[in-house]
Structure 1
Amino acid sequence: MSKTVPSVLVTGGSGFLGSEVIKKLVETEQYKVTSLDNLPPSLGSETFSNVRYIRANVLQPSELEDAFEQAKPVIVIHTAGVYDLGNKRYQNRSTGPVYEVNIQGTKNVLEAAKRNGAKGLVYTSSFSVLVDEIEADFHNADETWPTGRATLPYGRAKTAAENLVLASNTSSFRTCSLRPTLIFGPNDPTVIPRLHDCIARGETSFVIGDGSNLNDFVYVSNVADAHVLAASNLLESGTAAGQAFFITNGEPVSARDFCVAVWKEFGHVPSLNISVPPGLAWWLGWTAEWVSCISRQPSTLSMGVVRDAAAVRYMSIEKARRVLGYVPRVSLPEAVVVSCQDYKEKLQSQRVKKNKSWD
């Protein structure tokens, strides 16, 4: 008798992480895969003939219901989410897309999954449930550290969503939550592009503090591996059920060293290392915020940026290793090279297209 192939549905399947999760699932040849997103697959991301792609919005229950009826997933991997960039990250508010998509969208997906007979759900949370307590440092933090103290909107929203997911865990509907740190890799929309932009803005010589503060980064394919491991666990032993896990590359690095490693891949080595005391940097950030408010022009510096730049934020992955069998397969140095090469190729492609448009 042939074995039934379990069906898995990935929300946010056209996104940076979601598309990588789908790729990993396809590589296992163990699942029937459905991608759900309100957008088509992003330019440059790989698509697969044996994956069903469905357009649906997690904020529209009727669209979700139709998608779940088509996919009939046994397990759901919920990567869909929204986050703010730049100084919007630090704006203190309690409404908007960050809350709507991350909280209500997650609630809608949970309800659709349970209503349509899914056996479990893996949620993409974030280390922001912890580190968005912006004034605190986090040295080798683990899952025993309490959440609920985040002061920034994204951390608050992800905490609320994670709580919904873990509270939904039962013997018949298993759930778990993964908390990746800063994710980067090919098609990266944030980390590598934003660090590359620092070169053109002439910001690479400035260091807030002494630059020794340790941070965690994680390569996108390693995060995708963790999601596949978590889905398999929930369908089999269930030892991950009801639990949260930090997912990192397991290689804490100083924020300055990571930035310099990225810049070197673009042929740029800062000629100076100008250390700005955190106290002075904070006042400069305060001034920049007021100037930005008066001029209505965005600023790259703010009090929040200063705090983020000087913070210590690295996590233990011992629990993920022990329970999920998670091992980061791509090292940080290798990941930096691959990610920067991908972005260099995209920049070159953009230059070629621009030159052709002038011909």
Structure 2
Amino acid sequence: MQSKLSSKIQIIGGSGFVGSFLLEALKDFNISNLDKNPSPFFDNITVNGDIRNLDKIKIPKFTETVVLLAAEHRDDVSPTSLYYDVNVQGTKNVLKAMDNSGVKNLIFTSSVAIYGLNKENPDENHDQDPFNHYGKSKWEAEVVIKEWYENDPTHKSVTILRPTVIFGERNRGNVYNLLKQISSGRFMMIGKGQNKKSMAYVGNIVALIKDRLEKKELGHHVFNYADKPDFSMVELTQTIEEKMKIKLPSIKIPYLLGMMGGYCFDFISVLSGKKFSISSVRVKKFCATTQFDSDKVHRSFKSPYTLKEGLYKTLEHEFINTKKDEVLFYSE
């Protein structure tokens, strides 16, 4: 049986939220991390590098697989050209660095954002229709990777993961903001709350990446990822009420009124230069159906946590047994 330490794995972008969980999960493997930021937990195996600069991408000798996590992904990136500089040109640079080092295996985290909003449970063969620059740039990166793979398909292994929104301990993205609002007991639903929301717990995403590393399958593989079954917004709030032992107001704000409030915050943000947790984009996302078919991945991979367990672990960590000295990751 091959030792976990016999082949080297290069993580790129491992200092962030998902990367930190991944480095912990792979600590018994022979790994290194390249990131423009230091790692809060694994700085001893982290080297500084920016994928926008090919000369800064150093892949160690004898590396077998690259896991590319680095991305520009927040909702409010400015200028928008950064999405393409990092997500597209950065991917091209990583592939060139892999060619220079003779690395044939890649795991790439893309996103369900390539499908757009309000699609009917799209699977991996669904048409691409991204509604923002993040989704467009991720799709362009996938195209670049497919072209790279097809230059030598006999010897290469590519896994492209398209996760839905990822949540978990220490993350300060949209899901955290939503959980915080609901947990406060002052949350009011926008819309009817029947729209389904696919979500992914970080512990399951990391387990999937580890599973793909261990399988080492040749070919070009694409997987959506979401924890199933999907919750509606009403079911999500009920789950949080149960864990937090609270009762939320039954009042629901009409969608149009919620969007007007979002536009007001957009206007104030432009005038003041400040960023707010409420915006028209986030209201639109909140009320949209964001449900994705992940049957393909679940046929060959068993998630270690259910969606409810992931939510409970996050709520316990963030709102029940909180720590003031926590390392936090800001995203979305």
In 2, are the aligned partners of 1:10 and 1:78 still within 8 Å (CA)?
Answer: yes
1:156 aligns with 2:149: no
When normalised by structure 1's length, the TM-score is 0.79
Match of 1:5 in 2: 6
**In the TM superposition, what whole-angstrom CA distance separates every residue of 1:172-203 from its partner, at most 9, and x where no partner exists?**
23222101111112222324531254269885
Shift of 1:296: 4.9
In 2, are the aligned partners of 1:58 and 1:106 still within 8 Å (CA)?
Answer: yes
Query: Aligned letter for 1:155?
Result: G
Report matched runs for 1:194-233 at 5 Å.
Answer: 194-198=177-181, 204=187, 206-233=188-215
In 2, are the aligned partners of 1:196 and 1:263 still within 8 Å (CA)?
Answer: no
**In the TM superposition, what whole-angstrom CA distance separates every residue of 1:12-36 from its partner, at most 9, and x where no partner exists?**
112111122223333xx5x421122
Query: Aligned letter for 1:76?
Result: V
Match of 1:19 in 2: 20
Structure 1 residues 24 and 304: CA distance shift in structure 2, 3 A: same
- Out of 88, 95, 98, the position equivalent to 1:103 is 88
CA distance in 1, matches of 2:131, 2:114: 10
Match of 1:80 in 2: 70
1:165 aligns with 2:155: no
Match of 1:115 in 2: 100
**In the TM superposition, what whole-angstrom CA distance separates every residue of 1:32-57 from its partner, at most 9, and x where no partner exists?**
21122122222xx4x49xx8332222
Structure 1 residues 350 and 276: CA distance shift in structure 2, 3 A: same
- Out of 19, 23, 31, the position equivalent to 1:33 is 31
Shift of 1:292: 4.2
1:333 aligns with 2:308: yes
What secondary structure, in the 3-state scheme, does the structure 2 residue paired with 1:139 have? coil
Q: How many residues align?
A: 322
What secondary structure, in the 3-state scheme, does the structure 1 residue paired with 2:88 have? helix
- Out of 47, 53, 56, the position equivalent to 1:54 is 47
What secondary structure, in the 3-state scheme, does the structure 2 residue paired with 1:341 have? helix
Q: Which has the higher helix share?
A: 1
Shift of 1:207: 1.4
Match of 1:357 in 2: none
Query: Aligned letter for 2:165?
Result: L
1:242 aligns with 2:220: yes
Unpaired runs of at least 5, structure 2: 327-332
Match of 1:185 in 2: 168
- Out of 342, 352, 358, the position equivalent to 2:317 is 342
In 2, are the aligned partners of 1:226 and 1:247 still within 8 Å (CA)?
Answer: no
Shift of 1:305: 2.4
**In the TM superposition, what whole-angstrom CA distance separates every residue of 1:237-296 from its partner, at most 9, and x where no partner exists?**
42xx223210111220012432453465455432x1222222333334334434544455
Unpaired runs of at least 5, structure 1: 352-359
Structure 1 residues 296 and 19: CA distance shift in structure 2, 3 A: closer
When normalised by structure 2's length, the TM-score is 0.85
Structure 1 residues 283 and 226: CA distance shift in structure 2, 3 A: same
Shift of 1:116: 0.3
Query: Aligned letter for 2:255?
Result: P
In 1, are the aligned partners of 2:224 and 2:294 still within 8 Å (CA)?
Answer: yes
CA distance in 2, matches of 1:318, 1:224: 18
Match of 2:330 in 1: none
What secondary structure, in the 3-state scheme, does the structure 2 residue paired with 1:224 have? helix
Structure 1 residues 15 and 300: CA distance shift in structure 2, 3 A: closer
Structure 1 residues 294 and 22: CA distance shift in structure 2, 3 A: closer
CA distance in 2, matches of 1:7, 1:209: 49
Percent identical pairs in the alignment equals 22
CA distance in 2, matches of 1:185, 1:297: 26
CA distance in 2, matches of 1:141, 1:192: 21
Shift of 1:2: 8.1
What secondary structure, in the 3-state scheme, does the structure 2 residue paired with 1:5 have? coil
Structure 1 residues 12 and 308: CA distance shift in structure 2, 3 A: same
